[in-house]
Amino acid sequence: MGSRAGPVRRYNFSMHIQDIFARDPVTFSFEFFPPKTDEASEELFRTIAKLQELRPSFVSVTYGAGGSTRDRTHDLVVRIERETDLTAVSHLTCVCHTLEEMTAILDRYAASGITNILALGGDPPKSVANYDRNRDAFQYASQLVRFVRGRTNAPDRRGFGVGVAGFPEGHPGCPNRLQEMDHLKAKVDAGADYICTQLFFDNRDFYDFRERCELAGIKVPIVAGIMPVGTKAGMVRM
């Protein structure tokens, strides 16, 4: 991700991600993790309000496998929409969701004016041993992308804007890099508007990933996901 100098611009509420990429040849954004307490939520929102001054192209909010975390994601995205000039992208994962739950989530976002979704496969919750993915409405992110794009009550005439994840260093669940690119192409063909990558430690991995996308016929914008190293323990965990 990067930024460029330019005139101060007034940002609209909930711009469709297609319009953002058309406006900004180079983008930068922030990703927020929903806090676990009301006090921490208020502190985070004060920070978000201050970050408006940097005029990011958009911001996104992550989404956990636990129910309380999911509720905080929904609440934070809606609050960003209502109380700031930022465009929010809400993460949404396949795990632990029935079709009815997915429909209700998207209906709530549509009613709140939320325009953009980052559709992810997601990791099974660590708190549930031997979680059975067969109970989920969608097994793969490509299926979720297709479902999100098919919602006709989205707040934009084009439907929701949809992003998907890319893996410059390789997906841990798919050791075959050619097959991995096939999965990414399936997500784009299902209707994804852009790709946001997982973090990477060597820029050459990102450049190689971008070239492989080009060879695979993937033409959507690719956003480089960057996570600053704050502590040694955090780096080792990553």
Q: What CA–CA distances, in Å, run from 86 to 73, 128, 215, 227?
A: 16, 35, 34, 21
Distance from the Cα of residue 87 to its chain's centroid: 12
C-alpha dihedral sign at 202, 166, 66, 115: positive
- Relative orientation angle of helices 99-112 and 67-83, to the nearest 10 degrees: 20
Query: Is 31 annotated as catalytic?
Result: yes
Write phi, then psi, for 68 (nearest 5 degrees): -65, -40
Q: Which residues pair with 92 in a beta bridge?
A: 119
At residue 89, what are phi and psi to the nearest 5 degrees?
A: -110, 125
Q: Residues 43, 35: contact at Cβ < 8 Å?
A: yes
What single-letter amino acid sits at 13?
A: F
Strand order in the sheet with 29-32: 29-32, 58-61, 88-93, 116-120, 161-166, 194-197, 222-223
Catalytic residue among 31, 39, 53, 211: 31
Catalytic residues, which ones? 31
